[in-house]
Amino acid sequence: MTAAGIDFGTTNSVAAQWNGEYVELLEIGGQGLDANWRREGFELLYPSVVGTSSLRPGTLFGWEAKLRSEQAVEACKRMLHEEPFVKLGGERFAATTAAAGVFHAIAGAAEEEAATEIREAVITVPANATGAARFRTREAARAAGITVRTLLNEPTAAAIAYAHEMEIDGEFLVFDWGGGTMDATLLLHDDGFFDEKASRGVNRLGGLEIDARLRRMVLDQAPARGRWSDSEKRMFALEIERAKILLSHQESVRVQTPDDVTVEIGQDEFSEAIQDLINRALDPVEECLEQARIDPQDLTAVLMIGGSSQIPAVRAAVSEALDCELVDASLCDPMTAVAEGAAISAAAMDGELKSIIRVVNTHALGTITKDREGRRKFSALIDRNQRLPQQRVKSYEPTKDNVSQLNVEVWEGDPDREVGHPDNVKLTDLVLTYPRRCTAEDGVFDLEYTYSKEGLLTVRATLQKTGEVVLDGEVKVFGDGNVLPEVKKELDRLLALAPAARPATTPTHPPQVRPQGQGNGAPKPAPPRSAPRSADANTAAPPLVIDGSNLAWNGRPPRAAGGKPSFAALQAAVRSLRFKHPDCDIHVVVDATLRHDVSAEERPLVEAAIADGTVVQPPAGTEGRGDALVISIAEEVSGVIVSNDNFAPFQKANPWLRVAGRVMGATHSQGVWVFNRRVPNPAPPAQRR
């Protein structure tokens, strides 16, 4: 069987095979490319998109889904970190199912268009991917009928491709900035031996964030005149992404909004606007070098991979920070090197090439303990950046006597951060069962974690006093067993999806390509300004996006007077909304400070809600904090915001906030929550100095 590699990317995926002499990149799905999207090498990219269109039967994938869907799921790879649900054709699917659909489509296209089969493959993941994300990637591929030989870190794959091509040894730094994540990895290559020495990264920092920044730049100059249809939103998002790509090669671009307003953005202006994102992307590079204690001057090569890494301002910043010349894209293709390295790795596993790959874990693995005051702490067993396989043991004692069982929480993340930090993820709960009730002293046990280089974790607990094993098993979130029947059933449902009949609509991309900046000679109908329609037999109710911190402070004394927000009040408000709107999806967003502001008794409740995903908070460093995340989610899902805030700083960039029906106010009176539609007061005009 031919050795295959798949780079499963946030924006695009690439498939490659080893033909016995060299790597072949598979040209699949390229017939779906439009003329204005054709660029050199794009025929090798398979967009990681699933979509539907009223003009085309069945479920769409790849370029067809990206350019011709009215409703689409993009960046499903990024979602595998936390497994949210996505909607297509009026139905709900797990993000893993959407990813499985992409894998299934890649395998099908390889067979139909490249006359080859992909039944097993080395699949790449971000170096900074959590264990849960790695498991879901493996599960998605397996559900699509692809046996996963191993999961390989993307930077390592790129280094393998470069070292194989150049036949060079040394210390490589890989700067991997794609559509969803940013990773920096330091590797040693010595005569076919690859050793990951350090890896650091940032989740949720990539091309999607850069697109959002460019979108804001355009809307600052041409605010939306009303609500846009789903088709118009998709068309505008694609215009933004295409403009970003062009800005890497042109001094300026012209972007047209669905309101037929054209905005010109210059490369220098764009570079300045994303400088803070670039600075954040440089942080892992510094941390990585510091971790490995290597001076930039000792590096043999610096590889830049991923689409975002090719922005001129990014390349310039990395070159300046490291005071070195970067490897040219012609020697390490930023879009295909990862897939090439995966295929070479597969060939090495088959014994066709001499290569040994040694990897490290990028997140610590541990459990949760409590101190005497009941505060939860992350206790690491296996620290990050440890060479795999790895085995570690640590002793723990119950906090009280007469115990028969203990709940052992298995966590992955950064022990230097608080437990509730978004970088920390609970993987599962395991039950430790004592053979008999015992005192705390007799209940002392050794907890052993064994982590394989394939990313599989087993947990074992042994009583110190008697040597009895009281817990022994594999963490199922990492498991590699049979695909669950419900996963296959849901994938079959996705593949058979047929969009419901809709009123006549215009396609996202009409066949005629209109010159940039020119109208079509006919006046454009004004977009609808009506409020979201209420749910009926044929229309889904709009999701509700709750400004949780705002509701938690509702009716409470101000902070200056010693007041504290009430998480219990927020929970009551959510229950009331669920009762009154049973058909609505509900998103609850809180500021990162809420768990510190509530009473000590409520803090564990907030942390638990954040840990299990019931409540979300903005990642550290998010501009606009919780308010910005509330607005972003509401815009993304066309939802209704529940808040008494006016969002004054955001109204200019988001004029839809003052469209009737997009915001509901909340009032708490005598234990009863009442919700009414409201239009936020207009933001005051900027004062001239």
Question: Mean pLDDT, to the nearest integer, of 337-363?
Answer: 84
| E-only strand ranges, 541-671 | 544-547, 586-589, 640-642, 663-669
Upper half-sphere CA count for residue 178 (Cβ side, 13 Å): 33
Task: Look over the chain and give the mean of its residue pLDDT values, rounded to a whole number.
Answer: 84
The pLDDT value given to residue 25: 95
Residue 24 in tokens:
């072949």
The pLDDT value given to residue 500: 41
Among 456-465, 467-476, 584-593, whose mean pLDDT is lowest? Answer: 467-476
Best-predicted range by mean pLDDT among 9-18, 54-63, 385-394, 475-484? 9-18
Label residue 685 by pLDDT band (50, 70, 90): low
Q: What is the C-alpha to C-alpha distance for residues 209 and 371, in angstroms, rounded to an integer?
A: 39
Label residue 475 by pLDDT band (50, 70, 90): confident
Q: Which pLDDT tens digit goes with each residue over 194-209? A: 888 888 888 778 898 9
Question: Mean pLDDT, to the nearest integer, of 485-506?
Answer: 65
Among 25-29, 431-435, 560-564, whose mean pLDDT is lowest? Answer: 560-564
Delimiting residues of CATH 3.30.420.40 domain(s) in the chain: 3-206+276-358
The pLDDT value given to residue 504: 37
**CB-neighbour burial class of residue 343 (10 A; exposed 0-12, middle 13-18, buried 19+):** buried
Asked if 73 and 51 count as a contact pair (C-beta separation under 8 A), the reply is yes
Question: Mean pLDDT, to the nearest integer, of 278-284?
Answer: 94
Label residue 516 by pLDDT band (50, 70, 90): very low
b or e along 282-294 (b: 16 or more beta carbons within 10 Å of the residue's beta carbon)? bbbbeebbebbeb
Label residue 536 by pLDDT band (50, 70, 90): very low
Q: Which pLDDT tens digit goes with each residue over 41-96? A: 899 999 999 988 877 778 999 999 998 888 888 877 777 766 567 888 888 888 88
Q: Which pLDDT tens digit goes with each residue over 123-133? A: 999 887 777 78
Give all strands of the β-sheet with 376-382 in edge-to-edge order.
376-382, 364-370, 403-413, 425-438
The pLDDT value given to residue 502: 40
Among 333-347, 358-372, 650-664, whose mean pLDDT is lowest? Answer: 358-372
Please check whether the domain covering 364-474 is classified as CATH 2.40.340.10: no
Tokens 């947990």 found at:
459
Q: What is the C-alpha to C-alpha distance for residues 243 and 215, in angstroms, rounded to an integer?
A: 10
Delimiting residues of CATH 3.40.50.11980 domain(s) in the chain: 544-677
Q: Is the pLDDT of residue 150 over 90?
A: no
Question: Mean pLDDT, to the nearest integer, of 232-251?
Answer: 92
Q: Who contacts 382 (Cβ-Cβ below 8 Å, separation ≥6)? A: 361, 364, 365, 366, 390, 392, 449, 451
Please check whether the domain covering 3-206+276-358 is classified as CATH 3.40.50.720: no
β-bridge pairing 170-177 and 469-474? unpaired
Residue 232 in tokens:
């118009």
Among 73-77, 425-429, 442-446, 519-523, whose mean pLDDT is lowest? Answer: 519-523
β-bridge pairing 586-589 and 544-547? parallel
Residue 598 in tokens:
């509530």
Delimiting residues of CATH 2.60.34.10 domain(s) in the chain: 364-474
Q: Is the pLDDT of residue 179 over 50?
A: yes
Label residue 439 by pLDDT band (50, 70, 90): very high
The pLDDT value given to residue 513: 35
Q: What is the C-alpha to C-alpha distance for residues 403 and 415, in angstroms, rounded to an integer?
A: 27
Question: Mean pLDDT, to the nearest integer, of 170-189?
Answer: 91
The larger pLDDT score, comparing residue 44 to residue 557, is at: 44
Among 92-96, 221-225, 499-503, whose mean pLDDT is lowest? Answer: 499-503
Q: Which pLDDT tens digit goes with each residue over 481-490? A: 445 566 778 8
Please check whether the domain covering 544-677 is classified as CATH 3.40.50.11980: yes
3-state DSSP: the chain helix, strand, coil percent, rounded to 5?
30, 25, 40
b or e along 57-88 (b: 16 or more beta carbons within 10 Å of the residue's beta carbon)? eebbbbbbbbbbbbbbbbbbbbbbbeeeebeb
β-bridge pairing 663-669 and 457-463? unpaired
The pLDDT value given to residue 477: 53
CA-atom Rg of the chain in angstroms: 26
Q: What is the C-alpha to C-alpha distance for residues 607 and 590, in angstroms, rounded to an integer?
A: 11
The pLDDT value given to residue 248: 92
Label residue 289 by pLDDT band (50, 70, 90): very high
